[in-house]
Structure 1
Amino acid sequence: MARKRRFKVREHQLYTVLPKVWKELKRENQIDHPYRFRARRISFYSKLFSPGFLLQRILFSKKVLKISLEDHPPIFILGLWRTGTTHLHYLMARDTRFGYLKNHQAFTFNFSLLSLDRLNKVLSIFVPGKRPQDNVRVTLDDPAEEEQALSTTTTRSSIHSFFFPQNNTYFTRYHLFEGISEQEKDEWKRDYLFLLKNIAYYSKKKTLLLKNPHNTGRVKELLELFPQAKFIFIHRDPYTVFRSTKKLYNRMISSQLLQFFSQAEIEQLILHNNARILHKYLRERALIPEGNLVEIGFNALETAPLETVETIYKVLNLEGLETARPAMETYLDSVKQYKRNTYDPLPQVLLDKIDEEWAFWFEEFGYKKLK
């Protein structure tokens, strides 16, 4: 009988973290014994790349700070993990008018402006070819989530709760913005704005197309930065999201852990955090100016992708779809053979928890419970 392929991500997102940020993360968190070698590798690579960090800051900081995003506010793709945000991002990124963060820039963010083409060739050996959680193709030039880059520049990133899952305050403070001062919130805004200016400088495009599930609970804060920003929110049936997110933890996030995290803790975290994110999004979406928000379902994107994109462009009053359509069609042809993950049935105890804790999700977006 053939063995199932075991997915393993051997490299860590924090290899290119600024040394001062890594020092602060270690001060704030315990690193459990089985992960100490992983932590030592992070320390090694962070120091190895530090001359590049310094050189980029000297050569580019002033140029980046001069970038203005006010006249062309970003387009934010929102949605929980495993709801189809990546597919939508890949599809809309075929419109060459948009700028976006690329995978190699996300990984080497603190020295990505140095245009080290040889280094990118070296980095290609770290790219798994397919994402372990869903088999989606990955290349250095594909669109990436900016939270990955943010986590290497500051401790003020909610993704740090993935690395240190026993410390959920990174999530509560920098995704939900609970329990922090206005000063600290302003510092997060400064960090995030500088990140986006870097992306704009690198891409040389006026309008940024950004996909980051960590932004789903940040609508209010994003509007404070960009009052005329446009938002696309995508939702999916709760059962699939739960099962797929658990697979994300077991296949991808587990390779990034620096602390113990049990299966029971993973399940509870998914239930609890997703509910809090969605509640905050639902409270704050009314703040978005009329015509700047469109909500779509994953089923519509999957069954009628071009028609769904047409709806997005129409509602948000975006131009250029006809020019971008051939490239979008080419992308869709390339993923026709993609096979979605299959899952074992959920035990009744988990089904009951999903039905109870995510009841508002079923009701709000019209999904049916199994019973």
Structure 2
Amino acid sequence: MRLDHEELIDEARRRTSLSDLGDADSLTGLQVLVRSAEEVRPTFASRVSVRQLAMSILVNRLALVDAQRTSPDVFRGPLVPPLIVTGLPRTGTTFLHRILAADPAHYALPLWEAMRPIPAADRKDRRRLRVGLGLAVRKLMIRGLDRIHPISVDAPEEDLFTLGGTFQSWLFWQALPMYGYVDWYLRQDRAAKYQNYRAWLHVLQAAHPGRRLVLKAPEHIGGITELLHAVPEARLVQVHRDPVTAFASFISLISHTQGKVIGGTDTSRRDRTTLQLLAGEMERNLDARERLPDAIVDVYYDELVADPIAVARRIYHEHDVQQSDAAQAAIERFVRANPQGKHGVHRYGASDLAVGADEVSSRFAAYSQRFGFAGPRDTDQPQRPRAT
């Protein structure tokens, strides 16, 4: 079974009985994705994994274009300003996202809805069941995943599938080491990607009226300018951590997510390509932040670990968001119920990298200088955040 982009499109159309995929130019990424996947000679399991991801994106895209045609009023007007968390992977973004999601006035997508935001119109809604079954299979393939990234069908999850509508997403790199895809991705303009993202936010806002969407994705770091242009209502939060520590943790994660579905991995090439991706995205982030100095609330990993309730309170204050007594109580309950290490200890270190810590530090030198990591690197133990 070889991957073929035309066959994937035909199958998605057959499954949904829909045909319009919108702007054909934004499907170029699907062709790059398929070509890059085949270049690494994937196993059968790898092809199945990539095929399922691509099919999910295509099915969702068909549903979105259909909704834009049949329900145009949904996509007009402003959004309740969403809270959007970003930062390098493995910086505490998931923990912070779930803290903010605890507020009953907020809504964060559970995994099943993140993967299938629009139910099929002509059949019983089985989204939760199907996503749950897929997750169970994934956890059998990737033992110990919850120690690194706790995931369940009903827990708040990243908005990777809504970000992937133009086939510009880190989602695919985390699934398979597609080197050509990363080279292509880093050269792309993100305007269409974030116009598509805004359309999804309208769909989700309509499904949960009156509640503030709370969203999270590390890959927003490279699209801050385009995100704020497409979604000027957005309230952004960026989490910071020593980049060597964050990078080592992310490599540990993708060694699990990639390593269980391919026959073998060139770890040196994988680590260097991951460094190319993250450092390239951070360069875009730093450039955007020079032009948008007051648009983002900055949070440090160590202060988040030390006092997450105070961090949440500061985010509400700096973004002028009302924090009710019910929100405060819900956040406190969540923090008490989710201490660090609840799902087991994630062990990793810079010594495990196929690239040296000095090389990682060099690629993130400007980021470290800007956010105060130019001195001794942090550990998992809390420390005082440095002034920016």
Is the partner of 2:132 in helix, strand or coil?
helix
1:316 and 2:319 matched: yes
Letter in 2 for 1:142: A
Say whether 1:249 aligns with 2:262.
no
1:227-306 correspondence runs (5 A): 227-255=232-260, 261-288=265-292, 290=294, 292-306=295-309
Q: Which residue of 1 aligns with 2:47?
A: 39
1:275 alignment partner AA? A
The answer to whether the 8 A contact 1:249-1:266 is kept is no
Written as runs of structure 1 = structure 2, the 5 A alignment for 1:162-173 is 162-163=174-175, 165-169=177-181, 173=185
**Corresponding residue for residue 333 of structure 2:** 330
Counterpart of 1:3? Answer: none
- Of 358, 362, 382 in structure 2, the residue corresponding to residue 356 of structure 1 is 362
**Alignment RMSD, CA only?**
3.8
Q: Distance in 1 between the 2:171 and 2:279 partners?
A: 17
Residue 369 in 1 paired to residue 376 in 2? Answer: yes
Task: Measure the CA separation in 2 of the matches of 1:300 and 1:252.
Answer: 29
- Equivalent residue of 1:66, what SS? helix
- For the Cα contact (< 8 Å) 1:100–1:199, is it kept in 2? no
**Do the aligned residues in 2 keep the contact of 1:294 with 1:312 (CA within 8 Å)?**
yes
- Could you tell me how far apart the structure 1 residues matched to 2:123 and 2:68 are? 12
Percent of counterpart pairs with the same letter? Answer: 19
> Residue 108 of structure 1: CA displacement?
2.6
Measure, in 2, the Cα distance between the counterparts of 1:44 and 1:71: 31
Instruction: Summarize deviations over 1:323-355 as a string: whole Å, max 9, x none.
Output: 201111111111126244222551796122123
The 3-state SS of whatever aligns with 2:168 is coil
Instruction: Give the superposition deviation at 1:122.
Output: 4.4
Give 1:74's aligned amino acid: P
Task: Quote the residue 2:107 is aligned against.
Answer: 99
Query: What pairs with 1:7-18 in structure 2 (closer than 5 Å)?
Result: 18=12
Please, which of 127, 131, 134 is the counterpart of residue 126 of structure 1? 134
The alpha carbon displacement at 1:71 in A equals 4.7
SS at 1:76 equivalent? strand
* Structure 2 unpaired stretches of 5+: 1-7, 14-20, 22-26, 379-388
Q: Is the 8 A contact 1:159 1:170 kept in 2?
A: no
Shift of 1:29: 3.4
Judged with a 3 Å threshold, the aligned counterparts in structure 2 of structure 1 residues 141 and 68 are, in CA distance, closer, same or farther, namely farther
In the other structure, the counterpart of 2:3 is none
Q: What is the match of residue 381 of structure 2? A: none
TM-score between the two structures when normalised by the length of structure 1 = 0.77
Query: What TM-score does the superposition give when structure 2 sets the normalisation length?
Result: 0.74
Does residue 1:82 correspond to 2:90, yes or no? yes
The superposition leaves residues 261-315 of structure 1 with CA deviations (integer Å, 9 ceiling, x where unpaired) of 521012212332222222221221244374x421010110111010111111111
The answer to which of 194-203 and 133-142 deviates more is: 133-142
Which ranges of structure 1 fall in alignment gaps of 5 or more residues?
1-14
In structure 2, what is the Cα distance between the partners aligned to 1:127 and 1:247?
20
How far apart are residue 362 of structure 1 and its match?
3.0
Q: CA deviation at 1:135?
A: 4.3
Query: Which residue type is aligned with residue 313 of structure 1?
Result: Y
2:159 maps to 146
Q: 2:206 aligns with which of 171, 176, 201?
A: 201
Letter in 1 for 2:215: L
The residue type equivalent to 2:169 in the other structure is S
Report how far residue 44 of structure 1 moved: 8.0
Distance 1:52 1:111, change over 3 A: farther
Question: SS state of the match for residue 213, structure 2?
Answer: strand
Does 2:36 match 1:29?
A: yes
Residues in 2 aligned to 1:314 and 1:248: alpha-carbon distance in whole angstroms = 33
The change in CA–CA distance for 1:168 and 1:296 in structure 2 (over 3 A counts) is: farther
**AA of the residue aligned to 1:360:** A
